[in-house]
Amino acid sequence: MSTLEFQRSLPAKRMGAGLLVRDRSGRVLLVEPTYKPNWEIPGGAVEVDESPRECAAREVGEEIGVELTPGRLLVIDYQHPEPERTESIMFVFDGGIVDAARSDQIELAANELRSWRLVAPEELPTLAVPRLRRRIEHALVAVAERQTFYLENGHPFP
């Protein structure tokens, strides 16, 4: 068996990547998908032969119509499988600060997103599922403290 054949026989994991985008007052940009009930940060599924950073840039451009360059890696979050979800690895990169002029340029991909909002961190529990809320909260700390966090289900490990 060749090395490539062996590597192709190994398990594959679902990956996603997104950007933590904020305004000057510290609110976080969340988007409301059309295909599920939960709000998300802009981003999406990593495609074959695409890096997580490339995915975040592509997905954000497709979803909100604004080209943002992914900055520093803030969070890697391994998600254990659940009854309705396969295991996954999620990456969050710094999407920087979006001012009013830049946010006025946002044009949602109508087939993917219903709306967007800038959300104060204390509002996150009302819009984001717990695993995403924890991921965002750690990403905000990572920005402030210039750190990168490894999480499992949104919790630091160990």
The pLDDT of 127-147, averaged and rounded, is: 97
Q: Give me the pLDDT at residue 102, please.
A: 85
The pLDDT of 20-47, averaged and rounded, is: 96
Instruction: Please report the domains of the chain, with CATH numbers, ordered by start residue.
Output: 12-156 (3.90.79.10)
pLDDT tens-digit readout, 91-103: 999 999 998 878 8
- Given a cut of 90, is residue 157 above it in pLDDT? no
Higher pLDDT, 44 or 104: 44
- Given a cut of 90, is residue 1 above it in pLDDT? no
Query: Nearest-CA neighbor of 70 among 61, 78, 79?
Result: 61
C-alpha 67/C-alpha 18 separation (Å) is: 13
- Given a cut of 90, is residue 30 above it in pLDDT? yes
Distances in Å between the Cα of 42 and the Cα atoms of 5, 20, 49, 94, 139 are 35, 8, 20, 11, 14
| Residue at token pair 């959300």 | 119
pLDDT band, very low/low/confident/very high, at 130 (cuts 50, 70, 90): very high
